[in-house]
Amino acid sequence: MTVQPANRDFSAAGKTRATPARDDVSWHFPAGGRPPLAARLARGGILSLNGTAGETVASARLVQDETGHARLETLNLDPSAADGAALLAALADASFLRLSGVERLLLPLSEERAAVAALATEITGETDTQAQWAVIDRAMLRQLPLLWRRHRSHVTYPFLRTAIGPEDRLPPLRPPRPDGPMYERWLPELGLAVSLRPIDRRTDLPLFHHWMNQGRVAFFWELAKSEEELDAYLAAQEADPHIFGVIASFDGEPTGYFEFYWAKEDRLGPYYEHDDFDRGWHGLIGNPRHLGRLKTLALFRSVTHYLFLDDPRTRRIMGEPRASHQKMLSYAADAAYVTLKEFDFPHKRAALVCCERDRFFREVPL
């Protein structure tokens, strides 16, 4: 492909720019444990990435040509940083957040080549000058383990068979449940960050009990029980390698509860043709301050994103909401889930829903 560089500053790009949030600051969360990074877009299209002390750790000039192609020029990454690829990923993420209609970002192949090579999947050039540009694709960037998922909290196992599990659906060996923060991502449409962490029944039990005993939650979850009974429920979950509970928060405020499971070993497994790395989840919004379609949809998309990031071999996220729960099915459809069929569980008439990796990253805005 030939790209003709008719430069113009991104600050004048117009209609493809997302609405700035919090003085045009977006936050980015490297997976390796580095503190959050703040991205700011200044006049002249200068995009800078700053650490918690305000120091600049990366910068570039964000421009667009007349055809709508976006480029990062004059890349500068902190030479003392060992995570140059993560810094570049944060710059690219910040660019895509500000360019909602752009799916590909061009970078000079000659600058910061090692970092660029860790993100780019294509090379394009200009026939006259032979200048080469590397291409970062939005959908592919969202799948890379450089941002959002906290690596230190858990690990991915190799494919090893085990004899522990349902006899008719023996799984691969599963890693232990995560420990500590799992995922964090900036939501430009809300101007806040969503995060996920494992539930801890030793400290979260009162909150879990309060949420489960709300009428609107109890109607679907049927867990309006005492703290002692709910403690036993969570203790049983801790002993089960196929499932674990998660607290979701907005800007650190606990907002909802989710259960992530491996679908093959789950009660859902016998009802469809499962794969070893299919995942699934159940969820609720417990904090009434955060009810509403925009926030609920942001959570549903975020947990789906996390599950795809967690293991690159996961190709599908499955679900089994009540077939009559039209609001839930509507949310699922807006997160790229499709209904495959209806079937009868012992306790409900369910809809089998499925989200495929390729479609999710191609169609769902993140």
Q: Which residues are catalytic?
A: 320
* For the chain, the helix, strand and coil percentages under 3-state DSSP, each to the nearest 5: 30, 30, 40
CA dist 217 to 196, 221, 288, 319, 324, Å? 20, 6, 11, 18, 16
Contact 159, 312 (CB under 8 A): no
The number of angstroms, rounded, from the C-alpha of 266 to the middle of its chain's C-alpha atoms is 23
CA distance 221 to 227: 15
**Are the C-beta atoms of residues 129 and 77 closer than 8 Å to each other?**
no
Short-list 158, 118, 124, CA closest to 140? 118
Query: Most distant CA pair in the chain: distance in Å?
Result: 74
The CA distance from 4 to 9, in Å, is: 15
